[in-house]
Amino acid sequence: MLKLVTKGPIVFRARVLGAVRQIPPGFVLTYGDVAILAGAPKAWRAVGNIMATCERVDVPCHRVVASGGRLGGYGGNVALKRALLVAEGLGVVGTRIRDWQHARWNPPVLAKARRAGNCGR
């Protein structure tokens, strides 16, 4: 079923991790987008927190970037993050992603969620 975990206070984290895992290779999402997919559009702050404390390998954390196409952070290894993104075919210039709007993953559910009562951004 779609209901995963729901066992304890780690529900939100599980949803966030699940959303990140759905990001296909070669695409990226912003923390805000991940928050939307997780069901809490205003919890992007927490998303960053979760990512920082995330120790999982099955979650492509490197595909989560900041808004505007900036890389954001990666536990201090931003260079590694950039390398991973480049390895997936994404163009990275400095600390930003080239063709950002093209590399950004835009699933229908996300577009719909954004359209629902929000300026989009």
Partner DNA sequence: GCATTGACTAGGG
Partner DNA sequence: GCCCTAGCCAATG
Residues 12-31 that bind DNA (CB under 7 A): 12-13, 30-31
CA distances to 15, 85, 112 from 119, rounded to whole Å, are: 23, 28, 12
Does residue 20 contact residue 60 with C-beta atoms inside 8 Å?
A: yes
Q: Based on CB atoms, which residue is closest to DNA, 46 or 110?
A: 46
Q: Which of 61, 85, 90, 92 binds DNA (CB under 7 A)?
A: 61
Q: Which of 22, 66, 84, 114 binds DNA (CB under 7 A)?
A: 66
Q: Which of 19, 23, 36, 64 binds DNA (CB under 7 A)?
A: 64
Beta strands in the chain (DSSP E): 29-30, 64-65, 92-93, 96-97
23, 37, 61, 85: the catalytic one is 61
SS3 6: coil
List all residues 6 or more positions away from 47 whose beta carbon is below 8 Å from its beta carbon. 16, 31, 32, 34, 35, 38, 64
Q: Which of 24, 25, 68, 91 binds DNA (CB under 7 A)?
A: 68
The answer to whether residue 48 forms part of the interface with DNA (CB under 7 A) is yes
SS3 11: helix
Catalytic residues: 61
Q: Which residues bind DNA (CB under 7 A)?
A: 9-13, 30-32, 40, 42-54, 61-62, 64, 66-68, 70, 72-75, 121
